[in-house]
Chains A and B, each alone.
Chain A
């Protein structure tokens, strides 16, 4: 789909029926859509709350310059269901399989919250496939991931005790910035809840929140990432303050920090245009270095 067509369809969050699924490994086919054109590919990585169509609204500017690839993780959305919940390693394998199948030699990654861990793992295991990565609201921290995992456990308990609407009510004031809470008020809370409830099932969230508590939390891993890395951090993020964000960026050999004023844990919700501008600037800088 061209950038213009994507613009015309940006209000449509439904799945496209005409897209063939992409086989990534035995028994796994992923829903994957590309928008925009260009030599440079930017791939979005879902955390366990988002689906591929969700990204259309937050990549409207990027698709004017790049090919943007968004896909559903295995066992989520419109991708294959397998009996055994995928591990982080299998999610990484799926991404590489997806790039292979689409003929994409290397890509930029945008991870958000839990999927910043996946971006880290892919960059470590397949450095030749990742040109750069943007970690928006990272869960990888300069000292570890204990606070993040505590949040995941609390969310999981709420989900399994009270269901998805209550999980949303629990998460919203933690994840969404003070500024956005005040500015969008109750209509903002209710409107985003509809998307939240539409994008996942309780089972999918249970599995995702469980997986999010696994994997190596060691900050030392970050020092081995050779991929240019941008930490896109809202200064109202529940997990990391600006000082910790600077420490985190400094752990990456090619790390840098972009602070987004008053933004929360999912900073592109607060400022979609500002976030995409940050991504563009990062890509331009990395490409000029290359």
Chain B
């Protein structure tokens, strides 16, 4: 896929589908919608962050700005910044 951020968004969506046990909820969440306003609780977000570490091969840092965690797109942007997609970094 030519767009690393788009690829990351798709992979993050797949992780969310796993966490929620189906795509009924996730399919209704736009890429740029606030995850917390969409109803993603902290426990699911924690699961997503852990799954992203495994899937993309990087580790989160405590100093990550809150804005990074707001949407699927902003999470994907962080993944791209870490170089975990579009390069050999992703698992």
Contact = CB atoms under 8 A, between A and B. Distances in A.
B1 interface: no
B66 A187 contact: no
Contacts of A57: 41, 43
Contact of A184 (B25, B46, B53, B59): B46
A169 B44 CA distance: 20
- Please indicate which of the listed interface residues B37, B50, B53 has the most CB atoms of chain A within 10 Å of its own CB: B50
Interface string B37-54: 111111111101110010
Contact of A186 (B39, B48, B59): B59
B62 A189 contact: yes
Interface string B72-87: 0000000000000000
Contacts of B48: 191
Given A169-B62, A190-B69, A11 B20 contact: yes
B50 to A, nearest CB: 5
Interface residues of B, number: 26
Q: Looking at chain B's contact residues, is the secondary structure mostly helix, strand, loop, or mixed? A: helix
Nearest to A164: B66
Q: Looking at chain A's contact residues, is the secondary structure mostly helix, strand, loop, or mixed? A: helix
A197 B66 contact: yes
Interface of A: 11-14, 57, 165, 169, 184, 186-195, 197-198
B62 A186 contact: yes
Given A192-B42, A194-B45, A194-B66, A11 B25 contact: yes
A56 to B, nearest CB: 8
Contacts of A187: 46, 49-50, 53, 60
A195 B42 contact: yes
B37 A191 contact: no
Contacts of B59: 186
Contacts of A184: 46
A186 B41 contact: no
B60 A14 contact: no
B47 to A, nearest CB: 8
Nearest to B21: A11
Contacts of A165: 65-66
Given A12-B39, A190-B64, 10 more contacts: A169-B62, A186-B62, A187-B53, A187-B60, A190-B60, A190-B62, A191-B42, A193-B69, A194-B35, A194-B36
Nearest to B64: A190
Contacts of B25: 11
B3 interface: no
A14 B66 contact: no
B69 A186 contact: no
A194 B60 contact: no
Contacts of A191: 42-43, 45-46, 48-49, 69
Contacts of A169: 62
A57 B20 CA distance: 15
- Please indicate which of the listed interface residues B38, B46, B61, B69 has the most CB atoms of chain A within 10 Å of its own CB: B46
A221 B59 CA distance: 49
B20 A192 contact: no
Contact of B69 (A12, A13, A188, A194): A194
A188 B42 CA distance: 8
